[in-house]
Amino acid sequence: VLLEESGGGLVQAGGSLRLSCAASGNIFSINAVGWYRQAPGKHRELVATITAGRSVNYADAVKGRFAISRDDAVYTVYLQMNNLKLEDKAVYYCNADTDFRTYWGQGTQVTVSS
């Protein structure tokens, strides 16, 4: 499984971005896809996940502001981020869980300015 993130960039606080995670390879082995983020000097943390059955889960810090969705026709998972805050600045990584291992993308930088 290969994962490629896109959509990061610079945005002012209160603005929006949409991240995309395009999957290729043995995509039918994927049980769930998640978005994680890692800010400088901090551990990588869960942002949101979506399962093959479309069950979703969010970190408390992003509930009500972020939305994860998937388009199976193009094998892509999205993270819509609204009302971005300074503390949302991080590298965002896409993650795919299969029965045998977890795959990670290279990450996309999100920078929020005041």
Residue 32: in which H helix or E strand, if any? strand 32-38
Query: Model confidence at 84, in pLDDT bands (50, 70, 90)?
Result: very high
| Residue 77: predicted pLDDT | 97
Quick check: 111 pLDDT over 90? Answer: yes
Q: For the chain, give the mean pLDDT.
A: 96
Q: Hey, what amino acid is at 99?
A: D
| Residue 12: predicted pLDDT | 98
| Average pLDDT, integer, range 64-72 | 96
| Average pLDDT, integer, range 63-85 | 97
Helices first, then strands: H and E counts in the chain: 0, 11
| Residue 95: predicted pLDDT | 96
Return contacts of 61-70, CB within 8 angstroms, 24+ apart. 61/87, 62/88, 68/35, 70/33
